[in-house]
């Protein structure tokens, strides 16, 4: 596959078509690639983009299940706060390491 043609001047290739930049994308129809490109977007988010015509080359929006995606999206839950018993005198409640 030829992307562009140009001339070599020293160690630099210059294109002769007058185009300022050349870009090529592979795998435009891979839903897993789009899932990663959009920051591990959910299936529902990809379906929404596909229905609005933002991903026209995408044939299927089914993304493979990956445990790392599920673990990364979970939020941490803090420990439950326990009721403290008020202390009336010094040394009434002592925490030690035995």
Provide the pLDDT for residue 71. 77
Provide the pLDDT for residue 88. 87
Predicted TM-score (pTM) of the model is: 0.45
Torsion over CA of 41, 43, 48 and 54, rounded to 10 degrees? 60
Predicted confidence (pLDDT) at residue 21 exceeds the cutoff of 70: no
3-state secondary structure the chain: CCCCCEEEECCEEEECCCCCCCCCCCCCCCHHHHHHHCCCCCHHHHHHHHHCCCCCCCCCCCCCCCHHHHHHHCCCCCCCCCCCCCCCCCCCCCCCCC
pLDDT tens digit sequence for 54-74: 887 778 888 887 787 877 777
């Amino acid at each position: 596959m030829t992307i562009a043609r140009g001339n070599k001047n020293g160690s630099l290739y210059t294109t002769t078509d007058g185009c300022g930049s050349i870009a090529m994308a592979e795998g435009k129809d891979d839903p897993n690639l789009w899932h990663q490109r959009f920051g591990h977007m959910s299936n529902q988010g990809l379906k929404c983009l596909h229905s609005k015509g933002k991903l026209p080359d995408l044939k299927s929006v089914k993304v493979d299940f990956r445990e790392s995606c599920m673990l990364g999206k979970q939020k941490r839950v803090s420990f439950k706060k326990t009721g403290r018993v008020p202390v009336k005198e010094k040394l009434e409640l002592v925490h030690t390491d035995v």
